[in-house]
Amino acid sequence: MELLFICRDALEDSLLSTVAMATEARKTSADVGVLFTGEAVAALAGQSFDWSPLLRDWNTRVRVSRNATEMGYPLANTRDPRWTKPRQLLPAAREAGVRLLACPLWSKLLGVEDKLPEELERPDMAALIQELRQSDRVIGSF
């Protein structure tokens, strides 16, 4: 992989930024992936996402949700666009060609392997280490 982004936070804004940056990089024909670990694995397996403190107020969340969706990052809930549905970012990213990987360590530590979204690849530890070693650049959360 040319670029491997790491998303470890259970923050909607972090998920949105990381997936959006990976998707934009993919549009330039880069081989791109996102590795979800820690809190992000827990949230993707069914726990709730949160927002960063300065983005938590209702008006900001609605504005970000609507703007992200208009920009092609489907964050707004389709039934009621005032609410967000962060997991729906995954199918759009996968469709764009972004590889989405679940950290095998955190998936097992949390016991959530069977609760993760189908869009996530589930490499074993050896395969993940190989991906990390072969990645040109590994970038933390945005």
pLDDT attached to residue 125: 97
pLDDT attached to residue 79: 87
pTM for the whole structure: 0.94
DSSP state letters, 94-123: HHTT-EEEE-HHHHHHHT-GGGS-TTSB--
Separation CA 49–CA 115 (nearest Å): 15
Nearest-10 Cα torsion for 74, 89, 13, 127: -160
pLDDT attached to residue 8: 96
DSSP state letters, the chain: --EEEEE---BHHHHHHHHHHHHHHHHTT--EEEEE-THHHHHHTTSPPB--GGG-SHHHHHHHHHHHHHTT---B-SS-TTSB-GGGHHHHHHHTT-EEEE-HHHHHHHT-GGGS-TTSB---HHHHHHHHHH-SEEE---
pLDDT attached to residue 98: 98
- pLDDT tens digit at each of 142 positions of the chain: 999 999 999 999 999 999 999 999 999 999 999 999 999 999 999 999 999 999 999 999 999 999 999 999 999 888 887 789 999 999 999 999 999 999 999 999 999 999 999 999 999 999 999 999 999 999 997 6
